[in-house]
Every structure is written in structure tokens, then in C-alpha cells.
Amino acid sequence: MTLIMALVWGLGVVVTADTRATAGPIYGEERKIYPIYLNIGDEELDLAVVAGAGDSALIKQGVQLIRRVYIEWSKELGNEVRNPTEDESLRIVERIERALIERYALLRNVGINPSVEILLATVTHEGKPLLYVFDSRGIANPMHEVPGYAILGAGRITGAQLLLSLLGYDPERAASWDHSVFPVFVIDMVSQVDPTVSSFTDPQSSVYIRYDVKARKVVMGPMKIESFKEAKEAVGKRVKAIRKLWELMEIASEDEVLGYLEELMKKYTKRVR
């Protein structure tokens, strides 16, 4: 099974996944995130991040299909080297949707029921993050504005959705959070209760595609080794802090603890300002 999370974060989208693959009682490890980019002359054009849950063959076919659509768009653009605008991105999504619907319909006609979800994260030429999930019918569901995230795989049911709801994730609130710590925290917590989900062990399995304001272009890259080590250490500390907070509420009133926390928040909010 799997757990893939895509979170709209500032001017980009963070896509993070575990690496466990299952076939019956057998567990293996595989990467589930596919960066889409084009090499045009000496320049790399970072276009999108694709990930999928379900039938691995259909996921790989979907990735190739999406790559071909972007290549076709680039050829139509001619000599201009840039990312798609918002309108162009919407048309690209429509092309992908039509192709997937046709592909999956053919499979159903021969008695094969597609079991797959494909995630597409991209950032427009203007710097707007877009996030879509294509379901087993091939239909695209926009997730970038509401709810601002997408979760694929069995881990969604066994804890990921609960954690995002409990911690109150939304793109605006999370803008100041550490984008490397939060998804690692969720995956590591789910892995403790779901044996089909592995803990986060591969920095390459977290990719951030974003608009770089200084460079005035879209860039993407995996988590750095240093950030990976810091994130894993931070996750352990946050788990301890949450457990201590619960223990404290067993000996002090909830209102008293909340009062202390609100004062602490005010103190550090003033420091940040």
C-alpha cells in the first residue's frame, strides 16, 4: 500500500511519500514520486511533480502520459522557454483528463477495473500553486484551494486524514510552519499503526515545487540530507511534547494549560514580529 501527501505551502506544493510497496504478504521499497522536467538547451525547466497510489503499471503509464502532454505543450510554445500560465495549465489538465478517461474506459471494456489515483502538483508561470488528483475514472479534482492538500493511499484512512484535521492544517495557517517537519511527522505517525506504510527514510521521497521570487521562475528539488536529519529529530521531540501536554492536562485543568499556551504564543509572536 502507500501514503502520499501533497500540501500547498506558500508559493508551492510539497509532495512527500513513504517508500513501502506491498504484494500480498511481501514488503518492498520503491519511490513513488516522479518529477516532470524538460532539458531545453542548457536550461532545466521544472514543470510538475506526479505521484500515484494503486496499480503500479497504471501509475507508470499515467506518469508517461503526463510527461508527453507537457512535451507537446512545450513544442506548441515554440522557442519560448517558460512554465505554463494558469490558463495553459488548466488546458493541460483537461488534456490529461481526456486521455486518462479514454484509457480507463478501454480497460473497463475488456473487464479490467482501474484501481489507481494519480496526483499532479505544479506551479504556474505567474507563481500560483495548483494541485489535482485524477481518480480511477480519470476525472481531475482540484485540491489547491479547498482543502489545500491531497492524501493518497491506504494511510489516508489509517491516520493521515485524522492528523491533518486534528492539527488544523490549511495553507494559510501552515505558511509559517516547517514544510519539511510536518509531512514527515504525519508519515512517521501513520507508519506506527499501519504496517503497509513505512516510516520516512528517503529524502528523495519529498519534493518541493515552488515559485522562486528572486529567480522569478519555478524550481523544484528533493529534501536535503541536513533537512532530513533535522526533521527526523524534530519529529521525535514533537511527539514527546504532545505526550507531555496530554499528561499535564491530567494534573492541571485544560483551561489553565490553554491559558499558559496562549500566553506563550503571544510572547513568541511578538518576537517574530
pLDDT digits (tens, 9 = 90+) for 53-101: 999 899 999 999 999 999 999 999 888 889 999 999 999 999 999 999 9
Residues with Cβ < 8 Å from 128, sequence gap 6 or more? 86, 211
Residues with Cβ < 8 Å from 207, sequence gap 6 or more? 14, 15, 16, 33, 35, 49, 220, 221, 222, 223
pLDDT bracket for residue 21 (50, 70, 90): low
* Grid coordinates given for 33: 514520486
Residues with Cβ < 8 Å from 209, sequence gap 6 or more? 12, 13, 15, 35, 46, 48, 49, 121, 122, 123, 129, 218, 219, 220
pLDDT in tens, 197-222: 889 999 999 999 999 999 999 999 99
Residue 136: the pLDDT is 95
Q: What mean pLDDT comes out for the span 2-10?
A: 93
pLDDT bracket for residue 190 (50, 70, 90): very high
pLDDT in tens, 111-168: 999 999 999 999 999 999 999 999 999 999 999 999 999 999 888 888 899 999 998 8
Residue 41: the pLDDT is 80
Q: What mean pLDDT comes out for the span 249-264?
A: 92
Residue 139: the pLDDT is 97
Q: What mean pLDDT comes out for the span 169-198?
A: 90
Nearest-CA neighbor of 69 among 102, 43, 42?
A: 102
CA dihedral 226, 159, 23, 20 (to 10 degrees): 0
User: Which of 36-40, 138-142, 169-173 has maximum average pLDDT?
Assistant: 138-142
CA distance 208 to 222: 6
Residue 37: the pLDDT is 95
Residue 179: the pLDDT is 87
Helices (H) and strands (E) in the chain, counts: 7, 12
Residue 25: the pLDDT is 45
User: Which of 28-42, 117-131, 190-204, 255-269 has maximum average pLDDT?
Assistant: 117-131
Helix or strand (DSSP H, E) at 49: strand 43-54
Prediction pTM value: 0.90
CA distance 22 to 159: 18
CA distance 137 to 114: 8
Q: How far is CA 128 from CA 12, 84, 96, 196, 218, in A?
A: 7, 11, 19, 34, 10
* Alpha carbons within 13 A on the beta-carbon side of 189: 22
pLDDT over threshold 70, residue 224: yes
CA distance 204 to 77: 31
Q: What mean pLDDT comes out for the span 2-27?
A: 81
Residue 248: the pLDDT is 93
